[in-house]
Amino acid sequence: MKEMKDCKWRQDWTDLARSFAFQYNPALQPRAIIVFGCISKMVSDSEVKQLLRILVKALESYTDLTLIEAIIMCLTRLQPLLRQVCSLYMHSLTVMLCMVARAHCQPPFPSVC
């Protein structure tokens, strides 16, 4: 997205998407998480921690695949915005790599998956 000076509406939209992304609502939360990932120009460590916590809860129940996909899409977009010295950078990268490996795991090796 092209940078515009005094772009208040974009900051308001980001704040609104952030607030919906971290509230439990099966209908809105996945959409808000994707929007948050797409329009954010900066991200804090606490926001990434919250996303990872939501991902862990979603993986525990494994019933809402849309939420899992939304979080992975969001983290993929937010990954370049994280400071590389941050410990969450490696954690989020590891989570995404595990999810990709899980998606490509073949049935002949079920103990590895």
Note the Cα 41 to chain centre separation in Å: 14
73-103 pLDDT per residue, tens: 898 888 888 776 566 666 666 776 776 666 6
Closest among 95, 87, 10, 20 to 52, alpha carbons compared: 95
Q: Is 58 a residue whose pLDDT tops 50? A: yes
For the record, the structure tokens of 74 come out as 């969001």
- CB 37, CB 54: distance < 8 Å: no
pLDDT of residue 105: 59
Q: Give the pLDDT band (50/70/90) at residue 61.
A: confident
Q: pTM of the entire structure?
A: 0.73
Q: Give the pLDDT band (50/70/90) at residue 17.
A: very high
Domain boundaries defined on the chain: 8-103
